[in-house]
């Protein structure tokens, strides 16, 4: 099939490369010329495991090219996927400007006698498809064009997105056109995954419902971690015991400093807003958002309880600034938020992250922060070390030696990567999230 992808962010670039790898002919469009040139030269705008190799492979096989030329890109695709960003606007709603301008360009450059299936992969609020249709027509002007719209939400996770795109639990396609549904079904036949065929509104809502449910699961276990701290229970044991019930499942039950990233915070808020717009007060989601903020504040409060509110004499080592492991992405990273608070209270920070240092520098600048080349350096003469991102390698450091390099052996583990008892044996004052044997016994 001839496929056009509009937008070369995580979703667009990964989907484009994966479709090309399935044997399709893919053109990826982006308005950013530098980005496009880089992609064509094998330099990826994002860090994603296996992406560079895959793009080089499919480009070499002449089945993948990036371009800034809208006309040729739109002419090329029988299927045109809109994969542009939908950042939150100031009021917390999804900003759809990029989606609508892409729709207008599709209308503008679709030749009169051609038929296109225009698919939104970007996460868009329920009802957006109607507006996409309208904007395509606006772009087409007086020209008569044939097209159908469809919704095909994306469920890939950053860090494992190529694997996810090839092994998704399900494919969701929504449309009011049988023809569009069957073209998309043909495309996804390549996978063994079940295909949910539905109407447009349901497809759009599935994405928000799924992300909000996962965020709810995280906030739920974070709330349980609070009860653990107050009752002497251990959140890891509780999560294990809960998660083995197959109706609950063990994934997304890791308590920590809260969820971040470019998806959950934005999508939970947007679903809450959508429900308000339809005069429904989705109170559970309000609670999910509140719990997420409180979880971060509570973690930081532990630091203030130990050191007081002025941290200016203190040197803190920080492991991790990405919003989760496996990515260089720091958007809405809770780790970054925590670092800002610590630095705001005067602490000197030494930061290491295996992938996100460059993005962290852009967000945090150089004031009171040194960027280190290894985990080990973070421990040198530190008064305290903070684990803020769940990179597995942080669990496997040689803590016995490393804590000896610290001014005082204090670890705040915001991701529960370490064993509190092991730390105790090493003489470490250990603060986790909802762990038994936590050094903070103010409850
Ligand atoms: C999320 C969804 O998992 C994907 O299915 C979806 O496609 C994607 O959003 C999207 O909408 O594009 P992603 O944001 O890449 O994927 O990351 P997750 O792995 O879901 O993690 C989100 C946040 O939750 C991270 O900050 C992570 O640290 C946190 N988290 C996750 C926890 O605090 N505890 C957990 O048990 C799991």
Q: Encoding tokens for residue 391?
A: 């990179």
146-151: strand order across its sheet: 64-67, 25-29, 2-6, 79-82, 115-120, 146-151, 171-175, 195-198
Residue 30 CA to ligand 1 centre (angstroms)? 26
Residue 396 CA to residue 345 CA, distance in Å, equals 30
* DSSP letter for each residue of 244-294: TSTTT-STT---SS---SSSHHHHHHHHHHHHHHTT---HHHHHHHHHHHH
Q: What is the 324 CA–ligand 1 centroid distance (Å)?
A: 8
> Are 106 and 70 contacting, i.e. CB atoms less than 8 angstroms apart?
no
What are the backbone angles phi and psi of residue 405, rounded to the nearest 5°?
Answer: -80, -10
Q: Which atom, in ligand 1's list, is nearest to the CA of 159?
A: 15
Which residue ranges make up each domain of the chain? 2-197, 213-431
Sort 396 into a burial class: Cβ within 10 Å, 0-12 / 13-18 / 19+.
exposed
Distance 137 CA to ligand 1 centre (A): 36
Q: Which residue minimizes the CA distance to atom 30 of ligand 1? A: 259
The CATH label, of 3.30.465.10, 3.30.499.10, 1.10.10.1150, 3.40.50.720, for the domain at 213-431 is: 3.40.50.720
Assign domain 2-197 one CATH number from 1.20.1250.20, 3.30.43.10, 3.40.50.300, 3.40.50.720: 3.40.50.720
Distances (CA, A) of 51 to 13, 21, 46, 405: 9, 11, 9, 38
- Please identify, by atom number, the ligand 1 atom nearest to the C-alpha of residue 258: 33
Q: Give catalytic residue positions.
A: 263
Going by alpha carbons, the residue nearest to atom 24 of ligand 1 is 259
For the whole model, what pTM was predicted?
Answer: 0.92
Mark the ranges of the chain whose per-residue pLDDT is less than 70.
Answer: 441-443
What does the pLDDT read at residue 2?
98
- Residue bearing the CA closest to ligand 1, atom 7: 155
From residue 241, alpha-carbon distances to 71, 192, 221, 244, 245 in Å are 56, 31, 12, 6, 8
In this prediction, residue 169 carries a pLDDT of 95
What does the alpha-carbon distance between residue 161 and residue 50 come to, in Å, rounded to a whole number? 9
Task: Give the Cα separation of 373 and 355 in Å (integer).
Answer: 11
Distance of alpha carbon 160 from alpha carbon 152, whole angstroms: 19
Asked, colleague to colleague, whether 2-197 and 213-431 share their fold, the answer is yes
Closest residue by Cα to atom 20, ligand 1, is 157
- Counting ligand 1 atoms within 8 A of each CB, the residue from 163, 220, 264, 289 with the most, and so the one to mutate, is 264
Residues 171-201 pLDDT 10s:
999 999 999 999 999 999 999 999 999 999 9
CB within 6 Å of ligand 1 — which residues? 123, 154-158, 211, 214, 218, 252-254, 256, 259-261, 263-264, 323-324, 390
Q: 31 CA distance to ligand 1 centroid (A)?
A: 28
Closest CA to 410 of 398, 395, 423, 400: 423
* Span from the CA of 405 to the centroid of ligand 1 (angstroms): 34
Cα dihedral value 140, 141, 146, 151, nearest 10: 50
Q: Which residue, judged by its Cα, is nearest atom 12 of ligand 1? A: 263
Ligand 1: nearest atom to the Cα of 257: 33
Q: What is the pLDDT of residues 369-411, one digit of tens each?
A: 999 999 999 999 999 999 999 999 999 999 999 999 999 999 9
């Amino acid at each position: 099939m001839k496929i056009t992808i509009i937008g070369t962010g995580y979703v667009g670039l990964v989907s484009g490369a994966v479709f090309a790898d399935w044997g399709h002919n893919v053109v990826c469009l982006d308005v950013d010329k530098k980005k496009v040139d880089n992609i064509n030269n094998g330099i990826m705008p994002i860090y994603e495991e296996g992406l560079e190799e895959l793009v080089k492979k499919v480009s070499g096989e002449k089945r993948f090219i990036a371009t800034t030329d809208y006309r040729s890109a739109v002419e090329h695709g029988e299927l045109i996927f809109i994969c542009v960003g939908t950042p939150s606007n100031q009021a917390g709603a999804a900003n759809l400007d990029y989606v609508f301008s892409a729709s207008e360009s599709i209308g503008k450059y679709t030749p009169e006698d051609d038929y296109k299936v225009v698919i939104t992969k970007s996460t868009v609020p329920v009802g957006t498809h109607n507006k996409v249709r309208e904007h395509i027509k606006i772009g087409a002007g007086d020209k008569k064009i044939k097209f159908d719209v469809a919704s095909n939400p994306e469920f890939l996770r950053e860090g494992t997105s190529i694997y996810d795109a090839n092994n998704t639990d399900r494919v969701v396609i929504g449309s009011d056109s049988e023809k569009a549904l069957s073209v998309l079904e043909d495309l996804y036949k390549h996978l063994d995954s079940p295909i949910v065929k539905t109407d447009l509104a349901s497809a759009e809502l599935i994405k928000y419902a799924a992300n909000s449910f996962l965020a709810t699961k995280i906030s739920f276990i974070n709330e349980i971690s609070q009860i653990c701290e107050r009752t002497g229970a251990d959140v890891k044991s509780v999560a294990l015991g809960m998660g083995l019930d197959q109706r609950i499942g063990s994934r997304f039950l890791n308590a920590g400093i809260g969820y971040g990233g470019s998806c959950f915070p934005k999508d939970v808020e947007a679903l809450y807003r959508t429900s308000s717009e339809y005069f429904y007060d989705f109170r559970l989601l309000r609670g999910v958002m509140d719990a997420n903020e409180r979880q971060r504040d509570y973690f930081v409060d532990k630091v203030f309880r130990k050191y007081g509110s002025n941290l200016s004499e203190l040197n803190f080592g920080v492991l991790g600034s990405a919003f989760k492991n496996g990515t260089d992405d720091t958007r809405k990273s809770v780790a970054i938020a925590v670092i800002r608070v610590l630095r705001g209270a005067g602490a000197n920070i030494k930061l290491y992250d295996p992938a996100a240092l460059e993005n962290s520098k852009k967000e945090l600048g150089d004031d009171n922060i040194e960027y280190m080349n290894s985990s080990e350096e973070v421990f040198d003469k530190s008064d305290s070390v903070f684990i803020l991102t769940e990179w597995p390698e942080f669990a496997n450091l040689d803590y016995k030696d490393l804590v000896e390099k610290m001014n005082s052996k204090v670890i705040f583990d915001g991701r529960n990567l370490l064993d509190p008892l092991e730390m105790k044996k090493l003489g470490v004052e250990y603060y986790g999230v909802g762990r038994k044997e936590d050094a903070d016994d103010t409850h």
